[in-house]
Amino acid sequence: MQTSKSSLAALTLGAIGVVYGDIGTSVLYAMKEVFGGGHVPFTPANVYGILSIFFWTLTVIVSIKYVALVLRADNNGEGGLIAMLALASTSVRDRPDLRRILLVVGIFGTCLFYGDGVITPAISVLSAMEGLEVLSPKLENYVIPLTLAVLFMLFAVQKRGTGGIGRFFGPITLVWFAAIAVLGVSHIIENPAVLKALNPYYALHFMYHQPTTTFIILGAVVLCVTGAEALYADLGHFGKAPIRLAWFAIVMPALTLNYFGQGALLLKTPEAVKNPFYLMAPEWAIPPLIALATMATVIASQAMITGAFSVTKQAVQLGYLPRLQIRHTSVRETGQIYIPFVNWGLFVAIVMAVVMFKSSSNLAAAYGIAVTTDMLITTVLTFFVIRYAWKYPLWLCISATGVFFMVDVTFWASNLLKLEQGGWFPVLIGMAMFTLMMTWKQGRELLNEKLKADAIDLKSFLEAVFVSPPTRVEGTAVFLTAEPGTVPNAMLHNLKHNKVLHEHNLFVTVRNHEVPWIGINKRVEIEPLGHSCWQVVLHYGFKNDPDVPRALEQIRARGCEIERMKTSYFLSRDTVIPTIGGGMATWREKLFAQMHHNASAAADFLNLPNNSVVELGSKIEI
């Protein structure tokens, strides 16, 4: 029992650092943006109303929707939009048209995650550095250069992995939550009447009497739930209990106390609206608070970067992106990966965001559309999971998700007002990623159709070959093929040019499935074809790391002896030739051909030993 308690404590501390870093730093800018926009007249009644809206937004969206409902929709213990998408699409497998729509909607939501991944680090680190302006107006010119310097260091250390510094994330973020709670309490003590805003009456009163203003400011209110999606995305790392415990015991109370402390400060000193968070602190505490805020925002950004790596790997596994170079930064934790292309692509986009928007207020205008769209898509997918996977009654499914759907739609519609002010930026990034993903998915389907049309049946081919067999040479040949039961191009080229056949021949197909994990006991399917030939299918989930040599070791007990030093892996390196009048627009076929050409080597992706790989090229028109 003691071990389980200590384990729960450790996981809860880890969740505080990784899961809640983003939402924890929203106190830096959320309140400032609501009152700083000029839409809300500065009156005590409005302060109470806004505080009440903040508290009940956190309660409804985070506490009830994500913590109570969405966390239940785990896919074999894994969370996140891709895990939810796989769960929803599998539950409607017998409805192909609906399944296709859900896949497109879910992938679009996944693409918007990248837009969110650009805005979040930019606004977090920039808002922390803006504390320098409170310290001295003369330091204003240093805010952007220092922000860019911090971001560069953050992205530069990614290749070394976060295992070494990751253990400090939880304690530092815990100190951050303690600090913002203390700041809030110090001002609430001076004006305890501000706690009246916990009553939903004040939120409802504000919304009833100022409906237009409410609709407009919801685009800024949503800033208080930045990072709510991380609750679900990190489910596989920490589990439900630690995430829930961290939220109700530490995060929710600290956020509430700080927001209400900011409200108490504004009631006493309205001019503090220019930066209520930093002006809560006494002057001597501002420098260490800036340092602590910077560390907290770096940790929040780190969680977003790690999430981008994880989502990209899952998209590659599911066939929505080409193979990318993926480096493992830890020998113990398989989830700790580094993808150079994603790392520096994000960095360039974040630098563009900081330089273009110049302040956290301007970035706040860009924030919201991507995250509210993701929240809306999560709600829709949740409906299909609880209706078709869990088989709950329709009335219960509609009532369980209907309220959240209306809340999400309202926030989403409000954020559309910010489209021209900067909301277009993350949407543009999301649309670009969506174009790449759908082009790759459809291009692969066209390529596979072409390969199938030209394919030769494997069993018939082997029967013909062994009527008058070629010379057999010692060792094992592993032929990688996209479809089981067809002759790989690599084998045809090998017979044509080398005129030999190995003693043992394996025809291996790697299959990726819409589940996070597939265990070792379900990894291998093998079918004997005679003449020391076997058809092998290897199964992987979208969070498994493909490792063909390791998987093939399992077939030794099934009559096929494989010696590492006597095994050669034959791959077909296809060159795609776009053609006019094909299955996609010409520009998309050219884009697919370029993506196919630049994909990382299959040998690396499948963990094949480089000194045992033979690649044989061929050209394919699509």
Q: Is there a contact between 156 and 347 (Cβ–Cβ < 8 Å)? A: no
pLDDT at 74: 80
**Burial category of 583 from C-beta neighbours within 10 Å (exposed 0-12, middle 13-18, buried 19 and up):** middle
pLDDT at 559: 67
Dist CA 181 CA 286 (whole Å): 15
User: Which of 102, 15, 118, 111 lies closest to 382, judged by CA?
Assistant: 102
pLDDT at 162: 62
Q: Is there a contact between 605 and 323 (Cβ–Cβ < 8 Å)? A: yes
Q: Which residues, including other chains, have CB under 8 Å from residue 241's CB and lie 6 or more apart?
A: 8, 11
Domains, the chain, with CATH or none:
2-440 (1.20.1740.10), 454-621 (no CATH)
For the record, the structure tokens of 72 come out as 């239940």
pTM for the model stands at: 0.85
Dist CA 578 CA 169 (whole Å): 48
**Burial category of 28 from C-beta neighbours within 10 Å (exposed 0-12, middle 13-18, buried 19 and up):** buried
Give the residue carrying structure tokens 């109303």.
Answer: 49
Dist CA 127 CA 143 (whole Å): 9
pLDDT means per 10 residues, the chain with 622 residues, are 64 87 90 82 90 96 92 81 87 89 91 89 91 84 92 88 71 96 96 95 95 92 86 81 93 97 93 90 92 92 85 88 83 70 94 91 85 91 91 92 94 91 91 95 88 86 89 91 88 85 92 86 90 92 88 79 85 80 82 88 86 81 75
Dist CA 439 CA 457 (whole Å): 29
Q: Is there a contact between 118 and 359 (Cβ–Cβ < 8 Å)? A: no
Dist CA 603 CA 608 (whole Å): 5
**Burial category of 587 from C-beta neighbours within 10 Å (exposed 0-12, middle 13-18, buried 19 and up):** exposed
Q: Which residues, including other chains, have CB under 8 Å from residue 515's CB and lie 6 or more apart?
A: 75, 76, 86, 90, 541, 542
319: left (phi over 0), alpha (psi -120 to 50) or beta: left
Dist CA 501 CA 474 (whole Å): 9
Runs of H (alpha helix) within 466-552: 489-498, 548-552
pLDDT at 380: 93
pLDDT at 2: 40
Dist CA 506 CA 528 (whole Å): 9
Dist CA 516 CA 434 (whole Å): 22
**What is the DSSP pairing of strand 327-328 with strand 337-338?**
antiparallel
pLDDT at 189: 96
